[in-house]
Structure 1
Amino acid sequence: MAQARTTRTADERTNLYEQITNRIIAELEAGRVPWVQPWGSSKASIGMPYNAVSNRRYSGINVLTLWDAIVSRGFASHAFLTFRQALALGGHVRRGERGAGVIYTRRFIPKEERRRTDNESREPSGGIPFLKWFTVFSVEQCEGLPAHICEPRPPIPEGLILPQAEALIEATGADFRIGGPSAYYSPRHDYVQVPRPDDFHDPVNWHRTAFHELSHWVGGAARLDRDQTGSFGSVAYGREELIAEMSGAFVCAALGITPTVRHADYLGSWLEIIREDSRAILRAASAASKAADYLLALRPDAARAANDDDPEPDPALL
C-alpha cells in the first residue's frame, strides 16, 4: 500500500482550498461548529491531536480535520502517524483503513539561490511557498506498533481545571480585570475585562470567555499585531472574532476544558467570510494556532512540556 503524499499543482492546490472550505461551510450551515466538537459523545478525552512519533501537536486547519476524525470515527486517542512512520516502528496500517488528509507548506528554493547562499554562508531567503498534502492514520488503525505508542494519554480529571487556567492567566502578565457586565479586550488601552465567574450560569463558561478575550489580547500591537481596527459588523471584525473563537477553543482543549461556541451570533458573518474566500478559513485557523501557541508557551510548565507542545510546520500557506 503506497502512502498518499503528493505535491499539488496550482490548480490542484486551489481545489484543495475549496474542498476544505466547502466542508467547513457545510458544518456551519448544519449548525455545527467544527472547532467545538461534541466531546460528550466522544470516546476521546479533551485534548489536541498530535503526531505519535514526534509528539508535535498538529496546528491550524489540521486540528479541525483531525478532531473531526476522532469524533466521527470513534477514536479514543489523539495520536496519529503516517503510513511510513508506522512501518518504521515495526507496525503497519491495517488493510482497508481510511486515513485523514493533513496539509502543511514548504518553500521551494531555486538551485541558483541555494548556490548563492552556500557561497555567502547564509540562510536562503524568500522562496516559493507550496502546499503539501499527506495522509495520517490514528494509532488505533494500526497493528504491531510498540505498546508505548498506542497507550492513550491519561484522561483529564472530571470538572474544571481551574489551577492550570489560573496559572496561565497569571503567567500572561496581561492587564486582566474581573468585574463589570461584559467581556471584551480593549486594543487602545491593552487590557482584558471579563465578568465575575459567579455571574455565569455555568462557571466553566468563565474560562472559555477568558481565553477568548486573551486570544484577542495576543493579537494586540505589542504581541502578534493582528489587524483589530474593524468596526462591529465589518468583515475585519468578523475575521478577528473567528480567530479568537478558534484560538480560545484550542487553548481550552489543551488545558482539558471542553470548548463551546462563545459567539454563535457571528455564525452568519463567518459563513459570509468563508464563502467569499476559499483561503479564509485556513488563514484564520493558522492565526488561531499562532495565538494559542503564544498563550500556551507562557505556562509555568511550558519548558518541561516543550517536546510535547512543539507545533508542526505552519499549515496555512499564506
Structure 2
Amino acid sequence: MKAYTVFNVAQCDGLDEAITGIIPLDIDLRCDLPRVEAADRTISASGVRFINHPDKAFYRPADDVIAIPLMAAYNDPINWYRTAFHELGHATGAKHRLDREFDRFGTQKYAREELVAEIAAAYLCAAHNIEPTVRHADYIGSWLEVLKGDNKAIFSAASMASKASDWILDQATAAPKALAA
C-alpha cells in the first residue's frame, strides 16, 4: 500500500489550464468580442473572484468564487453579462456581504435565492443598458412556481434583489474613490 497526498484542484493556485480546465477571468477580458466597459468595471469592483469554467456558471460560497464559461461560449456574447450578474447576485448573499441563507436545490430557500439572483441580474442589466437575449421573466416564472404557496415571494425576492444590486453598484461607485486614496 502507498499513501498519497491529494488536493482538490480548486484548492491549488498556479496549475496549468490543461490540468484544471479553468482559466482566470482576465484572459476572457482580452477577447475580441464586444465588451460593455461599465459592466466590466462593476464586475471588477465587486471584489468577487471570477474564474473561467469550461461549461458551467455557478457561485461557490465555500471559497467565494464565481465560475463562468468564456464569453465566446455564449451564442450571444451579451448573455455572458446576464450570467455574470446572476452569479454576482448570489455572491451578495455571502455572510460578509448581505448574509442570505443558501440551501440545497429544490428547497424553497433555494428557489427564493434563484429569484433574488435573477431579479438582481435583471436590475444590473438594466442599469448597464444591457438587453440580453435570454428572458429573465421566463426564468423567474419557473422559480415562482416552486413558491406558489407564498403570496409575498416575488415581493420579498425583489426587495432582496434590490439590496443585492444596490450593493454591487455601490461597490462600483466606491471603487474609484478607494483607488484615489
SS at match of 2:172: coil
**Partner Cα separation in structure 1 for residue 115 and residue 97 of structure 2:** 18
Please say if 1:178 is aligned against 2:29: no
Q: Deviations over 1:74-130 (max 9, x none)?
A: xxxxxxxxxxxxxxxxxxxxxxxxxxxxxxxxxxxxxxxxxxxxxxxxxxxxxxxxx
**Partner Cα separation in structure 2 for residue 166 and residue 268 of structure 1:** 29
Equivalent residues in 2 for 1:1-318, closer than 5 Å? 162-228=36-102, 230-259=103-132, 260-261=134-135, 264=138, 267-273=141-147, 275-300=148-173
Contact 2:59/2:65 (<8 A) preserved: yes
TM-score by length of 1: 0.42
Indicate how the Cα distance of structure 1 residues 173 and 202 shifts in structure 2: closer, same or farther if over 3 A, else same. Answer: same
Contact 2:116/2:160 (<8 A) preserved: yes
User: How many Å apart are 1:303 and its aligned residue?
Assistant: 8.3
**Partner Cα separation in structure 2 for residue 165 and residue 181 of structure 1:** 22
**Partner Cα separation in structure 1 for residue 151 and residue 85 of structure 2:** 27
Structure 1 gap ranges (5+): 1-159, 305-318
User: How many Å apart are 1:266 and its aligned residue?
Assistant: 6.6
Q: How many residues align structurally?
A: 143
Contact 1:161/1:255 (<8 A) preserved: no
Indicate how the Cα distance of structure 1 residues 261 and 161 shifts in structure 2: closer, same or farther if over 3 A, else same. Answer: same
Contact 1:208/1:262 (<8 A) preserved: no
Aligned to 1:131: none
Indicate how the Cα distance of structure 1 residues 258 and 266 shifts in structure 2: closer, same or farther if over 3 A, else same. Answer: closer
Across the aligned residues of Structure 1 and Structure 2, the Cα RMSD in angstroms comes to 2.3
Structure label with greater radius of gyration: 1
Structure 2 gap ranges (5+): 1-33
**Partner Cα separation in structure 2 for residue 235 and residue 284 of structure 1:** 12
SS at match of 1:297: helix
Which structure carries more helix by proportion? 2
TM-score by length of 2: 0.71
Contact 2:119/2:161 (<8 A) preserved: yes
User: How many Å apart are 1:162 and its aligned residue?
Assistant: 1.0
**Partner Cα separation in structure 2 for residue 178 and residue 212 of structure 1:** 15
Aligned residues with identical type, % of pairs: 38
Q: Which letter maps to 1:204?
A: I
SS at match of 2:151: coil
Q: Flag the structure with more relative contact order, 1 or 2, with Cα contacts below 8 A and sequence separation at least 6.
A: 1
Aligned to 1:67: none
Which structure carries more strand by proportion? 1
Contact 1:218/1:291 (<8 A) preserved: yes
**Partner Cα separation in structure 1 for residue 146 and residue 129 of structure 2:** 31
SS at match of 2:144: helix
